[in-house]
Structure 1
Amino acid sequence: MLHDLSQAEWPRRQGLAMLTAALGAENIRWVGGAVRDSLLGTDVQDVDCATLLTPDKVIDLCRAAGIRTVPTGIEHGTVTAILKDGPVEITTLRRDVTTDGRRATIAFASEWREDAARRDFTINALYADPVTLAISDFFGGLDDLAARRVRFIGDARARIAEDHLRILRYFRFQARFGAELDPQAEEACSELAHTLKGLSRERIAAELLALLALPDPYATLERMRSGGVLGVILPEACPAQLAALGRLIVTEAGQGFAPDPVRRLAALLPPSPDVAETVAARLRLSKAQRGRLVSAAERSATDAEHPQALAYRITPPSAIDRLLLLGADARTIASWTVPVFPLKGGAIVARGVTAGPAVARILQTIEAKWVAEGFPGAARVEELLAEALADQPPAG
């Protein structure tokens, strides 16, 4: 059963009331994720707005009402209103003129149904009146939402031909909302999987990581693999690696760790730093994401023997990745603060050791023993220093 939109918090936001007054209730509708998620009873952060007005008119009316706008996607008819309770993307009704699977040439439209027809899924084409909150549903989105069914608007193959990324969006939305599979959508995605090769790596990476961030995407990824979709975007994800992901999902949940897409991507790859580097480059991951992926690939069974020593050496987040991927307990370092080694080179020089390589060697020796002993206090470090100096050959 769907929830009543009037019970949601966001339609009562002061900023949205200001925006409605500025643009005119007859000219706008709330659309997309905010409407969909509210009907499902889930939290809403961002609100999108569709409008009959052109971008220039939106900017002028907002300016007259004291609302600042930013032309975030002006070439596609989108401006963003900066409101006190959160930004709102305002997009003029559109229709596609030409599409090539990667980008579309659009023209402004004047009918809500025409705008809805160019959207991907029926559950994303629900429009809410800003005053009455009445829903405009042109393609059966309410029934699909109630059935937890992700269905393309019209012919699935035609929608995918307009934008190949919709294949990955379908699986992400199905993993998030779906219960009842749509055979036509599944067949179309499998048949057209090869078209994903023409998309930018950044778009593929963004969708893949968004899918991996969901609570349990295992069954969806398995269907992507069997349907030939996963092999196009991540050929390294063989059945054994999917099984590793399944174990990781169970381990994360059992230990209370939130889903992490980079960690889960690491599970889908063989534990090889070279493979991790290759995939990170192919997907054009950030430097931080690449570092975590490579570190996770360097995991070994011995990592689980001393979790805090591991965390000290490679940082707690990377240590947590390795331990969870190994099926080991990472809770001991989840909130652990990495201690600071309490000895500096100056203290060794003050004891008569000439500054240089000898000081560095002594520091490394003491630090290794300090870590091995579980990070003891300053008194024990002084003892370790005394022992190290006693082992030094006499000067001269």
Structure 2
Amino acid sequence: MSADLKAAEWTEREGLRALIAALGAENIRWVGGAIRDTLLHTPVADVDCATVHLPDVVMQMCKDAGIRTVPTGIDHGTVTAVLRDGPVEITTLRRDVSTDGRRATVAFAQAWEEDAARRDFTINALYAHPETLEISDYFGGLVDLAARRVRFIGDARARIAEDHLRILRYFRFQARFGAELDQEAEEACADLAPTLKGLSRERIAMELLAILALPNPHPTVARMFARGVLGVILPETCKPHIDALERLIAAEQDQGIAPDPIRRLAALLPPIAEIAETVAARLRLSRAQRAHLVCDADRQESDLSHARALAYLEDLACAIDRVLLQGGDTSPLRDWEVPRLPLKGGQIVARGVAAGPDVARILRTVEAKWIEEGFPGEKRIASLLDAELAGHKGDS
């Protein structure tokens, strides 16, 4: 693998040139994901910057250069430069003073290697000079990157003890970039999995959904289950649910449907709405995510034969999910626009029915028959209404 960044488009961005001029090339380094992803020939989402300058100095130097900054993480030494071609997080070099598995107390540092030592994985501790693009690799990250190996910096158990979320981050990064398993990391994550109970539910949900959003997380999720990690954060899951996730991912790929982490989370749970409610509350999902998960969980065998009716009565996305989760064909739903009932209560009143509960009852009855017949056009709606009105007059 060539450790060369010179062909990378992002290194030529006008905004980054302005940032180099403002802060000084010897005072900053590009760091982390942009370097890793460039070397792996994957798209670069964000560019992060490390600096020897203190945050207030960074903001003043940027201000003098006409660059607006936002103190997005000032307590941890991070400010964000708002550049024309994308924001850049600028973080002062740091070292850990104390950690408790949930949060760290940091102090500012002056050495690049000291800052690198507090990062999680070797492949994330790569620094690049902003002008020469020479890469500084303090912990063998380039070798690990070439081997597609996700390895903790230093002792894996010590790094997890500093931040328990690194267990889930390990599995996410391993799913994204890994091929060769690091046994020390695998065993440390398994042994320390119970420490995940001490983390905030929001942080756990964020990492879990990030894992499930990856193209094919099944092998990783299966390993998390086998090693007892998944059971700590999702005790409702059993082996058949892991198999269901595998089938769901295959169905998504076969039918050309984009991955959805909530749909995949539903595959890992029993198809019971009450359990989905419990999990959504425990993970503190958003209101929309909770509704999505509960709708997916409340699936029935009839969904496969009445998918369009389900889409009309519930939600198109939920109907697609339920069909996928049960191994069905979603083609009747794709590119299908959910119709509107071409009948209003006023039309029934105009036919001589007094406004009130009779109008609502007739409307519901016609709608039910319209759904059952597969949403026919206005001519059929008129016939259904005629028949219902005839019956109504007979009852009067």
| Same fold, judged at TM 0.5 (above) | yes
Distance in 1, Cα, partners of 2:80 & 2:97 = 24
Question: 1:213 — aligned with what?
Answer: 213
SS for the counterpart of 1:110 is coil
Residue 63 of structure 1: how far off its partner (Å): 0.8
Percentage of matched positions with identical amino acids: 69
CA distance in 1, matches of 2:160, 2:334: 42
Structure 1 residues 31-40 or 328-337, which shifts more? 328-337
Q: How far did 1:152 drift?
A: 0.1
Q: 2:85 — aligned with what?
A: 85
**Match of 1:6, as an amino acid?**
K
Higher mean C-alpha deviation, range 369-378 or range 160-169: 369-378
1:62 equivalent in structure 2: 62
**1:269 partner SS:** coil
Distance 2:97 2:138 in 1: 21
**Which whole-Å CA distance do the structure 2 matches of 1:395 and 1:153 have between them?**
81
Q: How far 1:339 sits from its partner (Å)?
A: 1.1
Tell me which residue corresponds to 1:351.
351
Please give the alpha-carbon distance, in whole angstroms, between the structure 2 residues aligned to 1:336 and 1:77: 50
- 2:188 maps to 188
Q: Which residue of 2 aligns with 1:387?
A: 387
- Partner secondary structure for residue 81 of structure 1: strand
How far, CA to CA, are the matches of 1:367 and 1:169 in structure 2? 50
Partner of 2:231: 231
SS at match of 1:131: coil
CA drift of 1:388 comes to: 1.2
The amino acid that maps onto 1:287 is: R
CA deviations on 1:175-203 (whole Å, 9 max, x unpaired) are 11000010110111111111100000000
After superposing the two structures, state which structure 1 stretch, 370-379 or 276-285, moved more. Answer: 370-379
- The structural deviation recorded for 1:4 is 3.3
Aligned residues of 2:3 and 2:135 also touching (Cα < 8 A): no
- Normalised to the residue count of structure 2, the TM-score between the two structures is 0.98
State the alpha-carbon separation in 2 of the partners of residues 351 and 86 from structure 1: 61
Residue 360 of structure 2 aligns to a residue whose secondary structure is: helix
- The residue that corresponds to 2:313 in the other structure is 313
Distance 1:395 1:186 in 2: 73
Q: Distance in 2 between matches of 1:123 and 1:136?
A: 12
- Counterpart for residue 16 of structure 2: 16
CA contact (8 A) 2:102 2:199 kept: yes
Match of 1:303 in 2: 303
Structure 2 counterpart SS, 1:91:
strand
Once residues 291 and 335 of structure 2 are traced to their aligned partners in structure 1, the CA distance between those partners, rounded to angstroms, is: 21
**Alignment match, 2:108:** 108
2:161 corresponding residue in structure 1: 161
Distance across 1 between alignment mates of 2:62 and 2:161: 36
Aligned equivalents of 1:336 and 1:69: distance in 2? 46
Q: 1:286 — aligned with what?
A: 286
Deviates more, 1:34-43 or 1:334-343: 334-343
State which drifts further: 71-80 or 4-13: 4-13
Q: How does 1:129-144 map to 2 (within 5 A)?
A: 129-144=129-144
Structure 1 segments of 4 or more deviating over 6 A?
none
Measured in 1, the distance between the counterparts of 2:260 and 2:30 equals 31
Q: CA deviation at 1:332?
A: 2.4
Post-superposition offset of 1:340: 1.4
Distance 2:246 2:343 in 1: 44
Name the CA distance, whole Å, in 2 between partners of 1:336 and 1:87.
39
- AA paired with 2:274? D
The amino acid of 1:391's aligned partner reads G
1:3–1:38 contact (8 Å) kept in structure 2: no
> d(CA) in 1 for partners of 2:336 and 2:385?
26
- What secondary structure, in the 3-state scheme, does the structure 2 residue paired with 1:149 have? coil
Residue 243 of structure 1 aligns with an amino acid whose one-letter code is D
Output one character per residue of 1:185-235: Cα deviation in whole Å (capped at 9) or x when no partner.
Answer: 011111111110000000000000000111111111121112111111111
Which residue in the other structure is 2:199 paired with?
199
Offset at residue 369 of structure 1 (A): 1.5
Please, which runs of 5 or more residues in structure 2 have no aligned partner?
none
Amino acid at match of 1:256: G
Partner Cα distance (2:23, 2:383) in 1: 74
Give the aligned residue type for 1:260.
D
1:350-369 superposed matches below 5 A: 350-369=350-369
Q: Distance in 2 between matches of 1:139 and 1:292?
A: 43
Matched, 1:152 2:119: no
Question: How many positions carry a matched residue from both structures?
Answer: 396
User: Hey, what does 1:76 align to over in structure 2?
Assistant: 76
Structure 1 residue identity aligned to 2:28: I
Q: Determine the C-alpha separation between the residues in 2 that align with 1:59 and 1:299.
A: 53
What letter corresponds to residue 145 of structure 1 in structure 2? L
Greater CA drift, 60-69 or 111-120? 60-69
- Report deviation, 1:331: 2.6
One-letter code of the match for 2:179? Answer: A
Partner of residue 248, structure 1: 248
1:2 deviates by: 4.2
Is this contact kept in 2: 1:20–1:130, CA < 8 A?
A: yes
Question: How far apart, CA to CA, are the structure 1 residues paired with 2:88 and 2:336?
Answer: 39
Deviates more, 1:146-155 or 1:300-309: 300-309
Task: Give the distance between the partners of 1:23 and 1:331, measured in 2 at CA.
Answer: 55
- The 10-residue stretch of structure 1 (331-340 or 109-118) with the greater mean CA deviation from structure 2: 331-340
Residue matched to 1:45: 45
CA contact (8 A) 1:102 1:198 kept: yes
Task: Tell me which residue corresponds to 1:5.
Answer: 5
Q: Deviation string for 1:56-83 (max 9, x for gaps)? A: 0110011111111111100000001111
